[in-house]
Structure formats: C-alpha cells, structure tokens
Chain A
Amino acid sequence: MKWQVLKPTKANYYLPVEGNLGLVILAKSGKSEIIIDLDKEGKHALILGLVDSDQQDNLELIVTTIHNAPNTHAETMIYGLVRDRAQVQIKGLIQIKKQAQRVTDFLTERILLLSDQSRAIAEPELEIEADEVRASHAATVASIDKNERFYLMSRGVTGVQAEQLIVSGFINQVINRIDDVKIRQQVCLMLKK
C-alpha cells in the first residue's frame, strides 16, 4: 500500500487510485473536496481523515469515493475534534456505479464536541447503483463520555488529564490504521504542531 499524506490547502483534489492507496487527510479549517476515484479493477483504498478545529475555525471537508470499476474496495474513517467556537462540517459520499459490481465500502465519521460552543454537521451519504455490494456508513456526534471521564478520575488522574487521555485514545484509533511506521511517525509529528 502506497501512503500519501494530504493537508488540504485548495478547494478540489482529484485522486485516481492507480495502486492500492492509503490516504491520510489532516485538516483544520477551510473548505475542500477530495475525490477518490477507483476506476481500476481490484484496487483498494484506505482513507483516514483527522480533523482538529479550534478557535473560530470553520471547516468543511467533503470526501467522495467513487467506485467506477468492479471489485474495488474502500474504507473511510474520518475523526474530528471540535474545540472552542469552531464549526466542522464533514460530508462523506460513497458512490457505486452500475458497472461496479462486487464492491465493498465502509465509512465511519466520528466527531467529538469538546466545548459547549462547538458545532458539527455530519453528512454520510450513499449512492448505490449496483447490487452485488456491501456498503455501510455510520456517524456519531457527541461530547466526551461522562462515565469514561469519571472512571479515569477514579483511577487518580485529574479531569483535564482524563480528557486528554480520551482524546488521544480517540485519535489513535485512526493513527493505528497506518501500517507504515514512517508515515505514522510523520503524521504524529504533524499533529503535535
């Protein structure tokens, strides 16, 4: 799998999948649309998105996966942190065209609202024209689970530390999917900045 790290700076990206693709999207603010085109038979794509918005950030991220060829497979995970007064809008669209039989695609969007002024819009969409498919999406939007926080605090950490642990655990679910160590370290460094 060939890994690529993308920090979107422009409005549109079009990525045809030549070999098997691993894509990491790191976004903070602004509007961008990323189209992943699976038009060659037998290709796989793993798309990992990490969004971390704070202050007055306004982020709109659209990730569209198009299956134009049969026997193509994709999985998308987009995890978002929304702090301060930020607003995050994440749209993930899976399109499976008529000729694209025997296709699987799964999309997960999870958004954590970390302040009482933060807002989120989650739009996971499906457009399916083939029948030999397995496709699903799931989205959740919530704040930090009070029970998880309480459990950690009962083990002796402060509230702030507990929240940090939960947030890093949340992010790690995505980062651990990067099977290339160098890329994983690079992403971790970029996240710390």
Chain B
Amino acid sequence: MPAFNTGKGLSESVVRTISRKKQEPEWLLAYRLKGLEIFLAKELPQWGADLKAINFDELTYYVDPAAKKSRQWADVPQEIKNTFDKIGIPEAEKKFLAGVESQYDSEMVYGSLKNDWADQGVIFCSMDEAVKLYPEMVKKYMNTVIPIGDNKFSALNSAVWSGGSFVYVPKGVRLEQPLQAYFRINTSQFGQFERTLIIAEEGSVVHYSEGCSAPQYSASSLHAAVVEIFVKSRARVQYTTVQNWYKNIYNLVTKRAWVETRGEMIWTDANLGSKVTMKYPSFVLAGEGARGETLSIAVANAGQHQDVGSKAIHLAPNTKSLIVSKSISLGGGRSSYRGLVQINKGAKGSYSKVICDALILDSRSRTDTYPKNRIWENDAKLEHEATVSKVGEEQLFYLMSRGLSEDQARAMVVNGFIEPVVKQLPMEFAVEMNRLIELQMEGSVG
C-alpha cells in the first residue's frame, strides 16, 4: 500500500505540507520555516566526514506511515517483530522492558506504556502526540538546548522533523527499567528526521535506549535526528544508542543535554553501521556539581567513516566529566574521535577526563583523534589520553595455542578491548554488542 509522501526535494511548500498534514499549531510551523531558512543558508561543514555525495534534491522528506498505530503486541507487523528477533531481545525480557515504542518510517507504530508508570505521571509518547497533548511543554523546551541554527542538520531536522519520542519524568520518580525505542528506515531514499525531547524533573531517574537496524537498499539515505535532554537538579538520565544502520546511510545526529545542579547525564553510544556517522553527544554542565559521562564504541568497516566523539561544556563550579571512547578500524574503514572539553571561567574545581583508545586491524584502515580542550579556569583540571594500537601477535598466538581459530581469537581480543564500555550498557544491548562485533570480525583476517 503506497504511503503518502511529499515527493523528492525540499521547499517551503514541502515544509508547509508536513505541518498541515500533522495539523500543527502556528508556532511550530514558524519553527519549521525558520529551520528551513537556516538549513538553506548554511554551508556543509568544512570539517569531519565527506558529505558532498548527499543529494538533498533526491531525498524524500516526509512519508506517512503505512502501518496503523497499535498498542497491542499482536498487532505489530511481522516485519518489525522479525527485526526485534534479529537483534535478539528474549521474549521474556520484552515484558520487563518498560515501554516499547518503535518507529516505522517517521511515525510511532507501536507503543505500550506500563500502567504503574503512567499512574506516576510519566509521559512516554511520540513527539507528534506530545505537540497535540502537551503543547506548552514542547514549546517551552524545544529548540532551546539545541537552537534551530546550531548546525546545518539540526536546522534541517527542525524544518522537516517527524516522529521521535517525548519523555517526561515527574519530580522524584525513578524508573527502574529502561524505556526503549527502535528505529528503522524502510522506504528507499527516505531520510528520517526524528526529534526526541526528554525532561527529567528534580530527583528523577530515567534510562532511555534506542537501537537502530535498517533493511538493505541501493540508494543513499540520510538520517538527521535531534535529541534534546533536560536533566533537572539531582536527576539522572542515561541515553543508550546502538546504531547499526545499513551501510548506505548518512547518520548526522545532534544530541545535547542540559544538566542542572548535581544532575547526572550519561551517554552510552555504540556506532557500528551507516556509511558516515557524525555524532558528538554533548552535555552542558550548567549547575554546580553536575556530572556528565560519555561512553562510546565505534566500529568502522569497509566503506565506513565513523566521525564520532563527545562534547563537555563546564559552566558551573565542581562539575565533572568523563569521556571514554573506543574505536576499531578494519577492512579499510576509518574512525575518528572528535571532541571538545570547554571549562569556562568560574567553573572552579571542575575536572574532566578524556580517554580515547583506537584499535587498527589492518593496513588499509585509518584512525584519527581530534580533541580540543579549552581551559579558561585555572582552578580546574583536564586530563586527556589517547592510544592507537593493533591486536598483538602474542595475544593471538596465545589464544590460538589454546585452540581458538584466528577469527575467534581476534574477536575475543576486540571484545576485551571494548568491554569497559560494553559492561555499562543494559544487559540486552551488551549481549547484542558482542554478537555484532563477532559478526563484523568474520573473515576479517588482516
């Protein structure tokens, strides 16, 4: 069944059509038009990965979902269930997974929210629903921590966004189970622009996780999401991503969190798929004693460029940040760490530590490290370290003398290398990660 779409290319009328189709209020249309204006005015970034191959006129910016929205597991399309199975979520665990929201094309098609959480006032819905049900909240927070004009792709997202999640956790509510969302792109050459907003009120705790998987296509596709997170005083938010887009996708994502007094933001981020990923999850430590942490893994195989990293902005005293990045380059892939630590004047007693480790598995691959550390406060401390190495012959020899094949031995060393980050992931993601790494390593003898 052909779904409604706006056709190829981007123009003011496309943006107006999306807004009309969604019956959006006037202020949101104004945001979208502003986004379009900035997107068209801004040049492609002169740094990072090569984006020249993206043909913006060939992309379709909005597709109405073919599947109807459902809240029953039985109603979920078989295709999506298969994706869940492939990723390997056990049936039993699904029941525990608190609310499951998955994205089919640009809309949510499946969602279930545990009743007891709903009773506590937790809101977990699609952004489109949020605009209708909680317009004041959306208006208050949207485009604030990531302004429309932050970068070319956040502007594009602001213009044509569709889908994504809205999460609101009231004061003092602690969610024990992670909220989950699965994203997939399913129409050829269809760019996906989801928009996520998470608000964690004072003293609340929430863990949001998203995993991506996409079926195979021939033409290049673009994924440009925007994720804005607000961590209020003493709240804790963890955001986990396992990104495994098909290898023709440009994944250009802007993610940023605003962290208030003694709040805590943790990004756990694994990038395995896509053709090009440019993603730098950031946190602005705005309140005294705020903490930010990024734990990331990148795997760049043939034809891939993972240009990923993190940004820590220290605005207040006694703020702490930790960035741990592990990257693996193989089969001619390229992985780059690109990061920023900014400690502003007045952020006394602040501390930042950045660790980047890279593993390079063959002579065709490449790895880079581009950190920038700006320290404007002398009563602060920054530590940065990076290493590049290969899998040692002696390690392989030892494992092979114990009866493992070379592939198995290599996979074991690589899994050991990323283990410090993997163990921070929720259980099912950790299992998935090891499986995905083994898959990547098959036949990769360098």
Contacts and interface: CB of A to CB of B under 8 A. Distances in A.
Interface of A: 98, 101, 111, 113-143
A149 to B, nearest CB: 13
B385 A136 contact: yes
Interface of B: 358, 360-363, 365-390, 446
Nearest to B343: A141
B379 A135 contact: no
A122 B382 contact: yes
A114 B369 contact: no
Contacts of B378: 113-118, 143
A18 B361 CA distance: 31
Q: By DSSP majority rule, is chain B's interface helix, strand, loop, or mixed?
A: strand
Contacts of B362: 131
A111 B370 CA distance: 18
Contacts, number: 107
Contact of A142 (B367, B371, B380): B380
B360 A125 contact: no
B368 A122 contact: no
B384 A124 contact: yes
Q: By DSSP majority rule, is chain A's interface helix, strand, loop, or mixed?
A: strand
A137 to B, nearest CB: 5
Contact of B373 (A101, A118, A123): A123
A134 B389 contact: yes
A147 to B, nearest CB: 12
Contacts of B380: 141-143
Given A119-B376, A137-B385, A141-B382, 14 more contacts: A111-B375, A116-B379, A119-B375, A121-B373, A122-B373, A124-B369, A126-B367, A128-B388, A136-B387, A138-B386, A139-B382, A140-B381, A142-B382, A143-B378
Contacts of B379: 116, 143
B374 A121 contact: yes
22 contacts: A101-B363, A114-B378, A116-B377, A119-B374, A119-B376, A120-B375, A122-B373, A124-B371, A124-B386, A125-B369, A126-B367, A132-B390, A133-B388, A133-B389, A135-B387, A135-B388, A137-B385, A139-B373, A140-B382, A141-B380, A143-B378, A143-B381
A142 B372 CA distance: 15
Given A126-B368, A127-B368, A128-B358, A141 B386 contact: no
B387 A125 contact: no
B369 A126 contact: yes
Nearest to B352: A141
A155 to B, nearest CB: 24
A113 B382 CA distance: 11
A119 B382 CA distance: 12
A126 B379 CA distance: 28
A25 B375 CA distance: 23
Contacts of A131: 360-363, 365, 390, 446
A115 B383 CA distance: 19
A113 B380 CA distance: 9
Given A122-B382, A137-B386, A128 B367 contact: yes
